[in-house]
Amino acid sequence: MKKRLFLINLIVALALVLTACNLPTQGEEVGIETAVAQTVAAISTETKVPEVFPTILPSNTVEAATNTPMPTATLAPTSTTAPTLVPTVTTVPSLTPVPIPCNRAEFVSDVTVPDNTSFLPNTAFVKTWRLKNSGTCTWGSGYSLVFHSGNSMGGAASVTLPATIAPGQTVDVSVSLKSPADTGTYTGYWMLKSDGGSIFGLGNNADKAFWVVIKVGDPATATAVAIKTQTSGTCQIVSSAPTAGTAYNSKEPFDTRWKVKNISGKTWSSDSVDVRYKSGTKWFENGVTTYDLPADVADGGTYELILDSIAPTDKGSYSMTWEIAGGGSVLCIMTASITVK
């Protein structure tokens, strides 16, 4: 026990001696303190950590990319070119084409007796219309001019057309009439009839009639102009017989005659002008359909055609047309109408 304590004391003493040998003097102590201070300062300088301030981001933080340039707005250049105007297109509704009727006529002119021509009472005259076939069907021999309404003025109920008329062609259709006995204004409406029996006329629907309008004056005061207006521009009907609608018994003989005046301004040469049957019922007896002029007819001169005739067998109304033609043109149209009782 005593031996152990001895050893402990010895060790403590040796430690104190060793510590005393390493302690600095007062001067050295100051130097040491100074050195220590400098060293601490140097270390502090070298190892000084910069102050870090926290970055406060807004609530809707968007982290910007490093060195990402801000987008630059591109301004569109102002155009100096005038804007192109687009025209407004107005759409016109398409029209449904109206089909052309098979049978349709177009009025061209009044060849004779213009509207409101004045006549003395009971004066015979011939009314002629110039019509155009504006349909799609040809008017053949079975086609006729028919009385439609108004005042018939003694005309036949039906008159056969004088020729075959193809679509686009024109034709002169005539009827013999007689002015009424009483003064006044009279109108007669006429249309056409096909070989199938259908009635047609003017207008888009071919349902309009054409007409003749005359005035009948007092014989004491009126100016008779009937003879002057029965003209085609080249011929004037001076007289005709029988009067329109004259009634005959079956197979009764009579004369058909026309006296015409040349007003064409030129002579009708007997070498080039013919008188010929054109259309209608052939009630003349000898059957001859073409005659030469017996002599030249000077401008202002007259010619008379006389046909020995016989009334047809059957009852009814009949008409017949003759013409004077030359140089490829018709110079005069002569129509007569009768009734067989």
Show the tokens assigned to 273: 């002008």
Q: Selecting from 1.10.357.10, 2.60.40.10, 3.40.250.10, 3.90.1150.10, what CATH number does the domain 100-230 have?
A: 2.60.40.10
- Say whether 231-341 and 100-230 share the same fold: yes
Distance separating alpha carbons of residues 33 and 114, to the nearest angstrom: 154
- Comparing CA positions, the residue from 105, 210, 104 lying closest to residue 148 is 210
Q: CA gyration radius for the chain?
A: 64
Tell me the whole-structure pTM to 2 decimals: 0.46
What local confidence, expressed as pLDDT, does residue 141 receive?
A: 83
Region 141-170: mean pLDDT is: 91
pLDDT digits (tens, 9 = 90+) for 217-245: 765 444 444 444 445 557 888 888 888 77
Q: Can you tell me the mean pLDDT for 182-208?
A: 95
Structure confidence by residue, pLDDT tens digits, 277-308: 988 889 998 889 999 999 999 999 999 999 99
Residue 40: pLDDT over 60: no
Tokens 């259908």, located at residue: 198
Q: Is the pLDDT of residue 21 over 60?
A: no
Beta carbons within 8 Å of 319's beta carbon, 6+ residues apart: 156, 158, 159, 160, 175, 176, 280, 281, 335, 336, 337, 338
Give the domain ranges of the chain: 100-230, 231-341
| 135: its two tokens | 């349909």
Please choose, from the candidates 236, 214, 220, the residue with its C-alpha nearest in 3D space to the C-alpha of residue 153.
Answer: 214
Q: Is residue 124 pLDDT above 70, yes or no? A: yes
> Fold for domain 231-341?
Immunoglobulin-like (2.60.40)
